[in-house]
């Protein structure tokens, strides 16, 4: 497994994407990213990259903790 990280809100260049696809092809792998970053990809390549949907669940205890501090 290979992993490449990019900063948050990174604007992927064509060179970045070409290198990622080349690495995936070399390793017989598929590209995957977060849903948040997937929507930032060029529309024409989105079908070639899968995304992981991440949901945030905030427990009620967090709101109690926050009220104590505000």
Tens of pLDDT, residues 31-64: 999 999 999 999 999 999 999 998 899 999 999 9
pLDDT for 5 equals 87
Q: Determine, yes or no, domain membership for 37.
A: yes
Q: Determine, yes or no, domain membership for 27.
A: yes
E strands within the chain? 31-34, 49-52
Q: Determine, yes or no, domain membership for 2.
A: no
Residue 1 reports pLDDT greater than 80: no
pLDDT for 8 equals 86
Q: Determine, yes or no, domain membership for 4.
A: no
pLDDT for 48 equals 96
Tokens 């070399």 correspond to 26
pLDDT for 64 equals 94
Nearest to 48, CA basis, from 59, 32, 63 = 32
* pTM score: 0.71
Q: What is the extent of the structural domain holding 60? A: 14-69
pLDDT for 4 equals 86
Q: Determine, yes or no, domain membership for 5.
A: no
Domain count, the chain: 1
């Amino acid at each position: 497994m290979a992993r490449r990280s990019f900063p948050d809100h990174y604007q992927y260049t064509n060179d970045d994407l070409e290198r990622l696809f080349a690495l995936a092809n070399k390793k017989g792998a598929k590209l995957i990213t977060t849903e948040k970053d997937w929507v930032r990809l060029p529309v024409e390549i989105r079908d070639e990259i899968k995304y992981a949907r991440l949901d945030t669940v905030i427990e009620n205890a967090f709101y109690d903790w926050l009220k104590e501090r505000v």
